[in-house]
Structure 1
Amino acid sequence: MKHLLSIVFILFSVCAIAQTGQISGKISDTQGATLKAASVHIRKLKIGASSDDSGNYVLEKVPYGSWEVEVKYIGFNIYKELITIDSESVSKDFILEEKSDELEEVVISGTMKEVSKLESPVPVEAYTSKFFKANPTPSLFDALQNINGVRPQLNCNVCNTGDIHINGLEGPYTMILIDGMPIVSGLSTVYGLSGIPQALIDRVEIVKGPASTLYGSEAVGGLINVITKRPGNAPLLSVDAFGTSWGEVNTDIAAKFNAGKKAQSLVGVSYFNYSNPIDNNNDNFTDVTLQNRISVFNKWNFDRKDNRIFTLAGRYVYEDRWGGEMNWEKKYRGGDEVYGESIYTSRWELFGTYQLPVKEKILFQFSANGHDQNSVYGDVPYMADQKIGFGQLTWFKTLGKHDFLTGLTYRYTYYDDNTPATADVNDLDKNKPTHTKLPGLFVQDEITINDNNKVLLGMRYDYNSLHGSILTPRINYKWNSSDRNNVLRLSFGNGYRVANVFTEDHAALTGSREVIFNNDLNPETSWNGNVNFVKKIYAGSTFIGLDATAFYTYFNNKIIADYDTDPNKIIYDNLDGHAISQGISLNVDVVFPFGLKILAGATVMDVYSKEEGEKTRQLFTEKYTGVWNIGYTFKSIGVTVDYTGNLYGPMRLPLLSDTDPRSEKSPLWSIQNIQLTKKIANNIEVYGGVKNLLNWTPPANSIARANDPFDKNVQFDANGQAMVTPDNPYGLTFDPAYVYGPNQGIRGFLGLRYNLF
C-alpha cells in the first residue's frame, strides 16, 4: 500500500508539472508608446518571445509555477518580475523605463552593427530625442550646439548658412549620415541639417576622429549619423509645435499607418516660417535670415521571411530664405539697387536597406539625392545642380572570435554650377560639369580576445576617378574591467579628403575670378590617434559617468583655397607643410535619485597649420569650449526644468586690412537657455521658456561697410586692393564673413507636444 501511494503521488506531480499555460500582454514605455521587438524570457526554462508591431507578446507552454520573467529592450532598463502561472492564460503588461545611464546606449556608427556603447571598440556618443527636447530648435543644425566638441558654425552674417565643426575641424571634414547613408554631403552640407523633422529622430550618433575606413571621403574629422525612428515604434500621431516672441513658428507632425499586414509606414512633415525682419543692431541689415521651409519625410518597413530587413525612405525639402537690407523685396533680387541674399533650395533624397534572401547576412544599402540651388548674392547669381548616387553591399560573418565585416561601395557625384569652378578651360562660355566616380572596398575584423579585450582591424581601398588610389587603414583596441565599470580605448587610423572645388564663398562669386591650380591637387590625408577612458561610478543611488578623450590629428597635403593672394583668382593648392588638431575633452553624466540630472562637457584644443616654419592658428576655432544640460523634475507637480548652455573661448577672426577696426579675436561668449515642461496627461506636454538669457549678440559692426554693400564708393589700386579714402577710412570692402556666433538676441518661446498611441 505504501508503494502504491508513492506511485500515485509521483504520477500526480508529473501531471501537475506537465500542465502548461501562456503568459501574454503588452510592452510599452512610460509614455504609453508600444515597444516592438522587445525580448521576453524565462531564462530558467529557456522560453522566450519578442513583442510584435503593437507591442504584444505571448510566452507559450509555460509550466505551472512561479517563474522570473525578464524583459529587455534597447535603450531601456531591464525589467524582472516573479510571475505565478496557475491557469491556462495569465495576462501581464510590462512598462519599461528609459535608461538614465547614457553609457549603455546602443550604437551602430562605429562598426556598422548594433552594439552597446561600452562594448564598441570605437568611441561613439549617442544623443536621444529626449536630449534635444531640453532645448527645442527648428533644425538639427541648431540642436547640435549643446554637444561637447561639436559646434554649428555660421559662415555668413546675411544668409546665415553654415556647417558643423567637430573638435575644431571645419565643415568639409564632417560627414553627415541619415540612417547610415551619406545623404548630406558636398553642396547640401550647408542645408542638409535643416528640414529633418525632430519628431522622427530616434537618436543622433557622433564619432569624433577619422572614420574614412568605413565611410570614405569627408569623414576625416568625424561623422554625425541621424537615426530615424522605426515605424513600428513610433506613435500613431505626434505633433510638436512652438513659436517665439520674434515671430518664428515651427511645426513637426508625424503619423504612422499599416499598409496590409506586412508593411508599416511613417510620414513626417516639418514646417518652419520666420518672416519678421528685425534690425536690433541698427546696421540696416536683417539680424536673422528670413526663412520659409517645408520638408516631407516618409519611411517604410517591410516584414519579410526570417525577419530579413527591408526599409525604404525618402525626403523632400524646399526652402526660400533671404537676408539683407531691411527694405529689400523680391523685385530687387539679382539687382544692385538694394542688397539682398536670396536662396531657393530644392532637394530630394531616397535611401534604403535590403537584406538579400540568402543564409548569410548580406545587406544592400543604397541612396540617391538631387540638390538644385538657385541663389543670388546682391547682383551675383549662383546656380548649382548636384546629383549623388550611392550603393553599398556589406557581408557580416562571425567565425569563432572573429567578427568580420566586408563591403563593396560605389559613389557617383555630378556637379555643375555657373562659376569658373566648372567652366570649360577651352571655352569659358560653356560649362564642364564634374563627374566623380568612387568605387571602394573595405574589410573589418573585430577580434574578441577574451571578455576584457577586443581588437578591431580595418582597411579601405578607394579609387577616385580624379585622384587615383587611396588607402585608409585603422586599428582600435578596447579593454574593460570585469564589472564593465572601466573602459579604455586606443585608436589609430588614417583619413582622407578630396577637394570639392565648388564654393559659396562670396569672394568666389564675382564671376570674373579665374580658378587656378598651382599643382595637381593630391588627396588630403590625416593620421589620428585617440585615447578614450570611460568610468562608471555608483555612489549609492547616484550614478556618475565620466568619458575622457585625448586626440591628435596630423594632416598632410591640406587643401587650401586662397582668395587673398589675388582678388581676381581662386588659387587651389596643397599646404606646403602640415596641420595639427590636438586636444582633450571630458564629458560628465550625473544622475541623482531625487530627479536631478546633469550632462556637462568641456574641450580644450589647439588647431593650426605650419608652413615654412610659421604657425598659423585656424580661423573660427575656439581654444576651449564648454556645454551643459541640467534638468530637474518636480514629480509632485509634473514639471521639469531644463537649463542648457554653451561657452566658447576666443577665436581668430578674418580682417580685411591692417587698418580694419574690428577685433582680431572674438571675446568669451555664451548662449544660455531655460525651459519649463509640464505634463498635462500621459500624451500631452506644454513647454516654454527663454532662449539666450544673457541677450548676447556679436558686435554691431560685424558686417564691414554695411552702408555700401555693392562697393560703389570703394576705390581700388592697380593690384585690386581697396584704398583708404575719406569715404572709406579703413580701406574696407563689403564683407559679411566676420561671423562667429548667432546674431539673435533674447526671446521667449512656447510650445505643445501631443502623442497618440
Structure 2
Amino acid sequence: MIIKNFFLILIIAPFFVFAQNEIKGKIVDENLQPLPNASIYWLNSNIGTTSKLNGEFIIQKTNSEQNQLIISFIGYHSDTIEVLNNKKSIITSLKKTETLNTVKITENSSGIYIDRYQAEKIETITATELTKAACCELAGCFETQMSVQPKTTNIILDSKELSLLGLSGVYNQILIDGNPIISGLNYTYGISSIPGTIINKISISQGLASVQQGSNSITGQINIALKEYNKDETFFLNLYYNSFGAKQANVDFNFSTGKWKSIISLHTTQPSRKIDNNNDSFLDIPQTKKYSLYNKWIFGNTNEGLYTTTIIRFLNEQRIGGQINFNITENKGSSYIYGQVVEFQQPELYNKTSYKFNETRAITIETGISYHNQESFFGTTQYLANQTNYNIKIANILNWKTHKLVSGINYTRFNLNENIFFNENFTFNKTYQGIPKDEKIKSFFTENKFNWKSNNLQLITGIRADQHNEFGLFIIPRGLVKYNFSENSIIRFSIGSGWRTFNLFSEHTHLLASNKNIIIDENLKPEKAINYGLNILQAFYFDNLEMQITLDFYKTDFSNQIHPDYHHNPIEIHVHNFDGNSKSNSFQIEIALELIDELGIKLAYNYLDIFKLYENENKYSLPLTSKHHLLNTISYRPVDKNWYFDMNTHFVGKKKLTDTTLNPPTHQRSLYSDPFWIVNGQFTIKLPKSKLDIYIGCENIINYTQENPIISWQNPFGQYFDISNIWGPTKGREFYVGIRKSIT
C-alpha cells in the first residue's frame, strides 16, 4: 500500500500548484483512473466541493479545526483523509464496495461520531445529523442521541435545560464557539435562543472537560459551533410550519470583502394557535415570538500569522403562557386570569484572535460579553432582572515534540440585578426578595497534553486556580488518559473536580410560579463535586457492515449540592446547603451499526442512580429522573435515490415524583410516573439540481401525553397550584413540513 501511494504521488504531484489556504487534490480509483463528481467536504462542516472530470478538486480550508476530509463516490467505499496544517495536497484512491476498507474516522449515516484521537471523550453531532429532525432550536437537536437529555423546567413557558449524566443542566457547561458566556438568565432561555439552522456541529464531552474554559463543567461540556462563511453558498433559506400553527423562517447570506469573510443569519419564530387539548383551561404551547440576528466575521489564515473571528448575536423574544383566555394587555400581573409572560433582549459579542509565530508557538486571546434584560410575570409575581457576563482569556500554546502545553490567565465577571414584586400578596405573605450578585473570578490555568507511541497513548493533566471575590481560592485538578490498543479499540479514564455558585431565581425561574413562600435557610455556599469517568470503544469492520460499541460509566460525588426542598411544608419551599453524601451514577451502552452504506441503526441504554444519603443512612432518590432510558434510531439513505428516512424511538422508565402527600387528596399525585414511549420520524426529499430539500415529519407519533400535569389548575391563585411535577410530554402529536434552499 505504501509503494502504491508513493507511485500515485509521483504521477499526480506535478498537476498541483497550491494557494495559501487552499487544498488541492485528485481522486482516482484502484487503477489510477480519475473519479469525476466525487464528493469532498470537511468533516462536521457544510463546506465541500466535487471533483472535475479529471478527478481534480480545490477546497478552501477556513480554520485550523478542519483537519479531516470526507471523500465519497457512489459504488466506492468512503474514505477520510487527515490533513495536517502544513499539508497542501490530497491524493487518494477509493476502493469499490466489494472490498474491505477500514478507515479511521467516517461520518457515516448516523451523523454522530466519537473522536478516537482525544483523551477527552468528545461526541460530535454533525451538520448531517442535525437535518434528521426539525431541530428548530438547540434543545431540539438531541433527539437522535442519548448523552444529552433535554428536560422541561417550566411547562407553561416551555423553558428547558440540557441534562448530562442525569443531573440538572446547571452542572454542565455550555459554550458558544468555545466561549463560556452562558449562565444565569441567559442559561434559562439561552438553549432555546439558538436556531438549529445556524449550528454547524455540537460537541459533547460527558464527564470532565478541559480546565481551559472554567471549573463549572462538573458533569460535562456542550460546545455549540456556529456556521461559518461558505463560499459555495450565497443564500440559504429554511422555512418551517407545524400542525399547531407555529412558523419559523431562517435566511443566511454569505459574502466576502477583501480578506474578510462573513455570514449573516436572520431568524424569526411566530406563535402557534391557542391549543388546550387536555381541557385544563391552560395553553399546551406558549405563544412565542422571536427575532434573532447572527453575524460571524473571519479574517486571516489559521496556518500562519494573524487569525481572528468575531461573532455578533442579538435576540428579542416574548413568551406568553397560562390560561387560554389570558390577555397580556388586560391581565398581566392580575389575579383575575392566570398568565406568565417573559420578555427579554439579549445582545452578545465574542472574539477569538490568535497569532501563530511558527509551528511550535502561538498565542490566543478570547473575549466575550453578553447582556440580558428581562421583564417577566409569573401570575401576580413580577420578576425584573438584568445581567452582564464578561469573559477574557489569554493563552500561550507551545507544541514540543509530540506534546502540547497550554497555559494562561482568565478573568470572568457575572453581574446580576434582580427585583421581585408581589402585586397581590395578602393571601400568601411571600417574603423572599431578589439576590443581586457581582462575582469576579481571576484564574490561572495550565494544561499539558502528552502523546506517546504514535499518539496511541495520550495523557492530559490540567490544573486551574480560581480566586473568587467572595468565596476565596479554589484549586481544580483534572486528569484524562486514553490508550489505543489498536486502531479500533480504545479505553479512556478521567478524574477531577469542579465547582460553581448557585443562582436561585435566574436559573430556577419556575420557582416564581409557585404560590409558596421561598425561604433561604442560610448563606448558600458554592456547589462542589468530584467526577470519575470510564469509556471503552470497540469498532468492527466487515464487508458491508460497520459496528461500534461504546460503554460509559461516570460517577459524581458532591460535597455540597443545593436542591430546593418542596416536601416538608405544603406552603413553603426551603433552600439550604447539603454537605452530606450526594451521588450520581451513570452507565450507558451504545451499539451503532452501518449496513451496506445505506442503513444506519443505533441501540442505546442508559441507567441512572441519583440520590442523597442523610445522617441516618436513609437513601433518598432525587425526583424527576428515570433510572432506565432506551433509544433506537434508524436512518435509511439509499445511495442511488434522492430521498432518505429517519426515525428515533425513546422508552423512558418511571420517575419518582415530587412528594405531594401533604396536599389535600384532590391535589395529590402518585409517587411515581408511568413509563412511556416517544416515536419521531422524518422523510426528506433532495432535489440536487435545484439545491432544494423538502422535509416532512411527525413528533410524538403515538400521541402520548402526561395527564393533568398542572396540580390545582382549577385554582391557579390558590395555595396548592404547582407546575413542578412535569415528567412526560405535554403536547400531543405534531406534524411539520419544511424546505431548505441553497443558492450559489
Structure 1 length-normalised TM: 0.81
What residue is the counterpart of 1:170 in the other structure?
A: 168
What residue is the counterpart of 2:259 in the other structure?
A: 262
Whole-angstrom distance in 1 between the partners of 2:209 and 2:15: 51
What residue is the counterpart of 1:224 in the other structure?
A: 222
Instruction: Map Cα deviations across residues 207-262 of structure 1 (whole Å, 9 max, x no partner).
Output: 11133733324311111100112214672211121211111112222111012x20
The correspondence for 1:447, drawn from 431, 434, 450, is 450
Whole-angstrom distance in 1 between the partners of 2:286 and 2:110: 38
CA RMSD of aligned residues (A): 3.5
Distance change >3 Å, CA 389–CA 438, structure 1 → 2: same
**Shift, 1:577, TM fit:** 0.9
Instruction: Map Cα deviations across residues 730-752 of structure 1 (whole Å, 9 max, x no partner).
Output: xxx11122212231111221111
1:748 aligns with 2:735: yes
What residue is the counterpart of 2:195 in the other structure?
A: 197
What residue is the counterpart of 1:343 in the other structure?
A: 342
Provide the identity percentage. 24
Instruction: Map Cα deviations across residues 413-436 of structure 1 (whole Å, 9 max, x no partner).
Output: 110111399xxxxxx999873210
Contact 1:37 1:53 in 2 (8 A): no
What residue is the counterpart of 1:622 in the other structure?
A: 626
* Aligned 1:465-544 pairs, distance under 5 A: 465-482=469-486, 484-503=487-506, 504-508=508-512, 513=517, 516-518=520-522, 520-544=523-547
The correspondence for 2:677, drawn from 662, 670, 676, is 670
Whole-angstrom distance in 1 between the partners of 2:674 and 2:383: 33
Contact 1:37 1:73 in 2 (8 A): no
Contact 2:439 2:469 in 1 (8 A): yes
Contact 1:558 1:578 in 2 (8 A): no
Whole-angstrom distance in 2 between the partners of 1:605 and 1:385: 36
Instruction: Map Cα deviations across residues 63-93 of structure 1 (whole Å, 9 max, x no partner).
Output: xxxxxx996569xxx974579xxxxxxxxxx
3-state SS, counterpart of residue 188 of structure 1: helix
1:657 aligns with 2:650: no
Distance change >3 Å, CA 132–CA 627, structure 1 → 2: farther
The correspondence for 2:705, drawn from 674, 697, 717, is 697
Distance change >3 Å, CA 475–CA 70, structure 1 → 2: closer
**Shift, 1:303, TM fit:** 1.8
What residue is the counterpart of 2:410 in the other structure?
A: 409
Whole-angstrom distance in 1 between the partners of 2:439 and 2:225: 28
Contact 1:382 1:509 in 2 (8 A): no
Instruction: Map Cα deviations across residues 137-171 of structure 1 (whole Å, 9 max, x no partner).
Output: 32111222432132111122212112111111102
Whole-angstrom distance in 2 between the partners of 1:528 and 1:431: 32
Instruction: Map Cα deviations across residues 305-363 of structure 1 (whole Å, 9 max, x no partner).
Output: 93532000011111111111111111211111111111112111111101147553110
3-state SS, counterpart of residue 180 of structure 2: strand
Whole-angstrom distance in 1 between the partners of 2:653 and 2:439: 39
Q: Which residue identity is paired with 2:375?
A: N
Contact 1:135 1:143 in 2 (8 A): yes
Q: Which of 1 and 2 has greater Rg?
A: 1
3-state SS, counterpart of residue 520 of structure 2: strand
**Shift, 1:674, TM fit:** 1.5
**Structure 1 spans left out of the alignment, 5+ residues:** 1-15, 41-47, 55-68, 84-96, 107-115, 422-427, 715-732
Contact 2:385 2:418 in 1 (8 A): yes
Whole-angstrom distance in 1 between the partners of 2:238 and 2:435: 45
The correspondence for 1:644, drawn from 605, 627, 648, is 648
Whole-angstrom distance in 2 between the partners of 1:350 and 1:514: 35
What residue is the counterpart of 1:294 in the other structure?
A: 291
Which stretch has the larger CA shift, 627-636 or 644-653? 627-636
Q: Which residue identity is paired with 1:573?
A: H
1:545 aligns with 2:548: yes
Contact 1:412 1:438 in 2 (8 A): yes
Distance change >3 Å, CA 420–CA 166, structure 1 → 2: farther
**Shift, 1:634, TM fit:** 3.5
**Shift, 1:49, TM fit:** 9.5
Q: Which residue identity is paired with 2:725?
A: Y
The correspondence for 1:250, drawn from 237, 240, 248, is 248
Contact 1:199 1:253 in 2 (8 A): no
What residue is the counterpart of 1:151 in the other structure?
A: 149
Distance change >3 Å, CA 262–CA 746, structure 1 → 2: same
Contact 2:383 2:421 in 1 (8 A): no
Q: Which residue identity is paired with 1:586?
A: I
Q: Which residue identity is paired with 1:481?
A: F
Q: Which residue identity is paired with 1:392?
A: K
Contact 2:149 2:164 in 1 (8 A): yes
3-state SS, counterpart of residue 418 of structure 1: strand
Q: Which residue identity is paired with 2:308?
A: F
What residue is the counterpart of 1:316 in the other structure?
A: 314
3-state SS, counterpart of residue 182 of structure 1: coil
Whole-angstrom distance in 2 between the partners of 1:615 and 1:494: 24
What residue is the counterpart of 2:391 in the other structure?
A: 390
Contact 1:160 1:288 in 2 (8 A): yes
Which stretch has the larger CA shift, 162-171 or 552-561? 552-561
Q: Which residue identity is paired with 2:371?
A: G
Contact 1:211 1:495 in 2 (8 A): no
**Shift, 1:563, TM fit:** 5.1
3-state SS, counterpart of residue 183 of structure 1: coil
1:433 aligns with 2:432: no
Instruction: Map Cα deviations across residues 252-296 of structure 1 (whole Å, 9 max, x no partner).
Output: 22111012x200111111211223011110101111111111111
What residue is the counterpart of 1:7 in the other structure?
A: none
Instruction: Map Cα deviations across residues 503-531 of structure 1 (whole Å, 9 max, x no partner).
Output: 4445446899575342x433222112111
What residue is the counterpart of 1:333 in the other structure?
A: 332
Whole-angstrom distance in 2 between the partners of 1:70 and 1:275: 44
Contact 1:285 1:325 in 2 (8 A): yes
What residue is the counterpart of 1:596 in the other structure?
A: 599
Q: Which residue identity is paired with 2:339?
A: G
Distance change >3 Å, CA 702–CA 580, structure 1 → 2: same
1:277 aligns with 2:286: no
Q: Which residue identity is paired with 1:739?
A: I
Distance change >3 Å, CA 29–CA 285, structure 1 → 2: farther
Whole-angstrom distance in 2 between the partners of 1:467 and 1:494: 17
Q: Which residue identity is paired with 2:438?
A: H
Contact 2:534 2:554 in 1 (8 A): yes
**Shift, 1:580, TM fit:** 0.9
Q: Which residue identity is paired with 2:668?
A: P
3-state SS, counterpart of residue 372 of structure 1: strand
Q: Which residue identity is paired with 1:150?
A: V
* Aligned 1:128-147 pairs, distance under 5 A: 128-147=126-145
1:558 aligns with 2:565: no
Whole-angstrom distance in 1 between the partners of 2:598 and 2:525: 54
**Shift, 1:367, TM fit:** 0.5
Contact 2:349 2:369 in 1 (8 A): yes
Structure 2 length-normalised TM: 0.83
Give the paired residue count: 666
Whole-angstrom distance in 2 between the partners of 1:303 and 1:221: 35
Distance change >3 Å, CA 267–CA 127, structure 1 → 2: same
Contact 2:39 2:49 in 1 (8 A): no
Q: Which residue identity is paired with 2:730?
A: N
Distance change >3 Å, CA 473–CA 37, structure 1 → 2: farther
The correspondence for 1:605, drawn from 608, 632, 656, is 608
Distance change >3 Å, CA 312–CA 35, structure 1 → 2: same
Whole-angstrom distance in 1 between the partners of 2:154 and 2:477: 37
Contact 1:631 1:640 in 2 (8 A): yes
Distance change >3 Å, CA 502–CA 233, structure 1 → 2: farther
Q: Which residue identity is paired with 2:347?
A: W
